[in-house]
A and B are shown apart, each in its own frame.
Chain A
Amino acid sequence: MVFLEAGFSSPRNDAFPAGLRVLVVDDDPTWLKILEKMLKKCSYEVTTCGLARDALNLLRERKDGYDIVISDVNMPDMDGFKLLEHVGLEMDLPVIMMSVDGETSRVMKGVQHGACDYLLKPIRMKELRNIWQHVFRKKIHEVRDIESLEGFENIQLTRSGCDLFDDGHFLGGDDTTSGRKRKDADNRHEDRDLTDPSTKKARVVWTVDLHQKFVKAVNLIGFDKVGPKKILDLMNVPRLTRENVASHLQKYRLYLSRLQKESDIKNSFNGMKLSDPPSKDSTASFGLHKPMNTVPDDVLNGTYSFSVNKSLAQSVDLKGQADRNGITSVPMAEPKGALSKDIPDSHKTKSSQMSFDHSLGSVDSGVSFATFGSTDPSQYSWTEIPEIQFKQEYESFQPENGFNQLPLPEPSMIEKEVKRSRTEVKPLFDEYRSNLVEHLSPADLVGLFPVQGKNQTLKNQAFDPISATKSTMKTKDISQNCLADSEFAQRNLNAAGIGVPLASLSEDLQICWLQGDGYPMNFALQDFECSEYHDPALIAETPFYLYDAPRFDHEHLLDPTEYFAIDQGLFV
């Protein structure tokens, strides 16, 4: 029976929905008592919590102890939406939001964060009687996913590895509905990307258990040192590939960074602190821990800390850096080697991942994104950047990914990559997107991507300032650094395109943003036209590299590990 498969405990199966295990979280003691009573009247098993933290602890302690969570939106210790994200990401349980405030914007936010329902207080009994449907719905979907997974012979890292993004990966906040949408998108992607008949892409379903194994592994390793390979080894799950893990890691980072968003928003650009020059192995750099305070220099290098927008920035940076700094050039050399080791799977993967080669970091520190533009001032003029590619890419992406990834820079380069990796642009979360947008503040970008704010087309902003900055940048050594390796850049571009927070990929993933052709910094910019094809939020993402641009400090050279956390899969 589906319930059994779905993991319902047997005693409850027969009586379902009776015995449904509900966790209620509300700081209002009066409501907590009332809800408890009402739920008990529905024959549900109720646990109450006055604090969001307590709720999370309870959920973590008893992984399979609850079927559904009902939470108030306004709580003193933690925003209800944050709790929602956590639950979605860590436990993948349906969450219902409640509030006495029924404003459309709030309700919308709830849905965006993944709530499967939003109830207005005062809550009636009849509304609570039907909450079991959300649990049931989720179970059905899980079963479907598992079945689809089993249908595949092997798990293949798609070219870009993006596919993994699409799988039932639940990113924080992206709950049932979006998750389902994603899954659909994934399916589409898979079909599309499966150009090679010989290889099949198996979609990995990140079930609650799997994710928990993942999180455990991450915590064991230590977030700073985490990397797909290490995680994979610790997880010890057959059929799971490093790419699967890498892609999941990226999402996880995004999610974590989003959590930091609030504090980092303002600083995102500036905050992109680049961690210490990327060391080959410093996967950790992504910065989850590092709030991005000052974007520029550091950012490029790798502060791609997750902080929400940071991720964006990161991605941006990565790209930018790669391109700019010549880093690409330098790393190129290394990456090749590195890549090869890193990319055990296939050539494809290699390309996608490569960029993140640590070498990037090793490249002159000056590589900072600024280098992007430095080489060629004209490049910066984003306005000129033909949207073409990105646009196309994006458009195609859009439907599939809720995630409007930032347009990949350098249409030319990206185009190829993007196309391949189109699927990658998985919509991490719309939220991420919006976060990104927020983070990109023109000022920070130093002209790179003035992406700012919400929905500003990059075009407008970024281009002008960028041009200006570019010239300065150019003078910096960036030019030399960056564009050294066109090939490299290309690869990077693809990766960069994703704009996904470059979770610090393990050494493997270093994304070499370097774009081949002298990196027109445009790459990212060009697509900023993205606004046209996708909402500005997306654009915001791209500028990641842009963020770093201001930094242009070559010293920072991206820490490949950091920047490119972007899953190679993403780009390719």
Chain B
Amino acid sequence: MDLVQLQRQLVEYRTSLYHEGFLDAQFTQLQELQDENNPDFVVEVVSLFFEDSERLLNELTTALEQQSVDFKRVDAHVHQLKGSSSSIGAQRVQKVCIAFRNYCEEKNVEGCLKCLQQVKHEYSLVKTKLESMFQLEQQILSAGGSIPM
């Protein structure tokens, strides 16, 4: 694929992510923050997000597996996940977190487990999509082109 095509593909892909609610305006902000001083800023931030989220998801899984669920703890983790997903604009993940917290408040284990599954799903979706997007960007850069805004 030639450079122009790659670039067009990237733009389309990115637009679809916004349309489908995977990303929101916060992600655009991140991109705007990227500059010559930090050319890999977005990738770095997103990588941090992936790391942190995976840790939180593991904690959540453990917490909900307990005999007697500590809802405060679960809620704290969900709150954190909500916070970090908001940092990169992972909108769908954030939305599930809101519902998740409600179940925590109600101390509804079933509801929580359901949300955990959902959030894991949304997380893996957005992760895959972002990774694909970064790959496209890399290809463009390798081809000597620049990333279109």
Question: Which A residues are CB-close (under 8 A) to B49?
Answer: 30
Q: Which residues of the partner chain A approach B30 to less than 8 Å between Cβ atoms?
A: 34
A237 located at the interface, meaning its Cβ lies under 8 Å from any Cβ of chain B in the complex? no
**Cα(A99)–Cα(B84), bound, Å:** 11
Q: Mark B12-40, 1 if CB is under 8 A from A, else 0.
A: 00000000000000100110010000100
Chain A residues 344-364 with CB under 8 Å of chain B are none
Q: Are the CB atoms of A37 and B38 closer together than 8 Å? A: yes
| Interchain CB contact under 8 A, B87 and A31 | yes
Q: Which residue of A lies closest to B89 (CB)?
A: A122
Selected from B80, B87, B89, the residue in CB contact (under 8 A) with A74 is B80
Contact A124 B29 (CB under 8 A): yes
**Contact indicator per residue, chain A 98-114, by CB within 8 Å of chain B (1) or not (0):** 01110000000000000
B143 in contact (CB, < 8 A): no
Give the complex CA separation of A101 and B38 in angstroms. Answer: 30
Q: Does B76 have its Cβ within 8 Å of any Cβ on chain A?
A: yes
A33 at the interface (CB under 8 A from B): yes
| Bound CA span A37–B26, Å | 14
From 19 to 44 in chain A, residues with beta carbon under 8 angstroms from any chain B beta carbon are 27-31, 33-34, 37-38, 41
B48 at the binding interface (Cβ < 8 Å): yes
Q: Which residues of A contact B83 (CB under 8 A)?
A: 28, 31, 72, 74, 99-100, 121
Shortest distance in angstroms between B18's beta carbon and chain A's nearest beta carbon? 15
In the complex, whether A125 has a CB less than 8 A from a CB of chain B is yes
Provide the residues of chain A in CB contact with B88, threshold 8 Å: 30
Query: Cβ of B129 < 8 Å from any Cβ of A?
Result: no
Taking CB atoms, residues of chain B closer than 8 Å to A34 are 30, 33, 45, 87
Q: Are A33 and B84 in contact (CB under 8 A)?
A: no
- Kindly state the separation between the CA atoms of A121 and B30 in the bound complex, as whole angstroms: 14
Query: Do A125 and B29 touch across chains, with their CB atoms under 8 A apart?
Result: yes
Interface residues contributed by chain B, number (CB under 8 Å): 22
Known: A33-B44, A37-B38. A28 touches B80 (CB 8 A): yes
Contact B26–A122 (Cβ < 8 Å): yes
Interface residues of A in 324-342 (CB under 8 A from B): none
Given A37-B38, A74-B80, A101-B79, also A30-B52 (CB < 8 A): yes
Partner of B82, one of A41, A100, A125: A100
One digit per residue, 1 when the CB lies within 8 angstroms of any chain A CB and 0 when it does not, for chain B 59-76 equals 000000000000000001
**Closest B residue by C-beta to A121:** B86
Q: Mark B76-112, 1 if CB is under 8 A from A, else 0.
A: 1001101110111100000000000000000000000
- Contact check: which of A30, A121, A125 meets B45 at CB < 8 Å? A30
Most central of A28, A37, A122 by chain B CB within 10 Å: A122
Q: Which of B49, B51, B76 has the most CB of A within 10 A?
A: B49
Establish whether residues A28 and B84, one from each chain, have CB atoms under 8 Å apart when the complex forms.
yes
Chain A residues contacting B89 (CB-CB under 8 Å) are 122
Q: A74-B79, A74-B80 are in contact. Are A30 and B29 (CB under 8 A)?
A: no
Whether A41 contacts B52 by the Cβ 8 Å rule is no
CB contact between B48 and one of A29, A100, A124 (< 8 Å): that residue: A29
Chain B residues in 8 Å Cβ range of A101 = 79
Please give me the residue from chain A that is nearest to B80 by CB atom.
A28
Across the interface, which residues of A come within 8 angstroms of B33, CB to CB? 34, 37-38, 41, 125
The answer to whether B52 and A29 have CB atoms under 8 Å apart is yes
Contacting residues, chain A, for B79 (C-beta < 8 A) = 74, 100-101
A34 to chain B minimum Cβ distance, whole angstroms, is 6
| Chain A residue with the shortest CB-CB distance to B49 | A30
CA distance A28 to B76 in the complex (A): 13
Contacts of B41 in A (CB 8 A): 37
Judging by beta carbons under 8 Å apart, are B86 and A33 in contact? no
Question: Which chain A residues lie closer than 8 Å to B84 at the CB level?
Answer: 28, 30-31
User: Once the chains bind, are A122 and B45 in contact (CB under 8 Å)?
Assistant: no
Within the complex, the shortest CB–CB distance from A58 to chain B, in Å, comes to: 22
Q: When the two chains form their complex, are residues B29 and A28 in contact, meaning their CB atoms are under 8 A apart?
A: no
Measured between alpha carbons, how far is A519 from B12 in the docked complex, in Å?
Answer: 83
Smallest CB gap from B27: residue in A: A122
Residue of A nearest to B51 (CB): A29
Complex Cα distance A227/B48, Å? Answer: 50
List residues of chain B with CB within 8 A of the CB of A124: 29
| Nearest A residue (CB) for B94 | A100
Q: How far is the CA of A34 from the CA of B48 in the complex (A)?
A: 11
Measured CA separation A100–B78 after assembly (Å): 11
Q: Are A33 and B29 neighbours in the complex by a CB distance under 8 Å?
A: no
* B45 partner residues in chain A, CB cutoff 8 A: 30, 33-34
In whole angstroms, what is the CA distance A524 to B56 when docked?
51
- Chain A CB within 10 A, most for which of B26, B45, B84, B87: B87
Task: Please indicate the chain A residues that have their CB under 8 angstroms from the CB of B76 in the complex.
Answer: 74
A28 touches B52 (CB 8 A): yes
Question: A125 — nearest CB in chain B belongs to which residue?
Answer: B29
B87–A28 CB distance below 8 A: yes
Q: Are B48 and A30 in contact (CB under 8 A)?
A: yes
**Is there contact, CB below 8 Å, between B87 and A122?**
yes
Q: How far is the CA of A125 from the CA of B26 in the complex (A)?
A: 10
| In the complex, chain B residues whose CB is within 8 Å of the CB of A100 | 79, 82-83, 86
Closest to A41 in B: B33
Chain A residues near B26 (CB-CB < 8 A): 122
The reply to whether B29 and A121 contact each other, CB–CB distance below 8 Å, is no
**Are B38 and A121 within 8 A (Cβ)?**
no
Convert A106-134 into 0s and 1s, putting 1 for each residue whose CB lies closer than 8 angstroms to a CB of B. 00000000000000011011000000000
B98 to chain A, nearest CB (A): 10
Give the one of A72, A100, A101 with max B CB within 10 A. A100
* A-B contacts besides A121-B87, A125-B33, 10 pairs, CB < 8 Å: A31-B83, A31-B84, A31-B87, A33-B45, A34-B30, A34-B33, A34-B87, A37-B33, A100-B83, A125-B29
Query: Can you list 12 residue pairs at the A/B interface with Cβ under 8 Å?
Result: A28-B84, A30-B49, A30-B87, A30-B88, A31-B83, A31-B84, A33-B45, A34-B45, A72-B83, A74-B80, A100-B82, A122-B29
Q: Name B's A-contacting residues (CB within 8 A).
A: 26, 29-30, 33, 38, 41, 44-45, 48-49, 51-52, 76, 79-80, 82-84, 86-89
Sort A-B residue pairs by CB-CB distance and give the 3 closest, nearest first. Answer: A100-B83, A30-B87, A122-B26
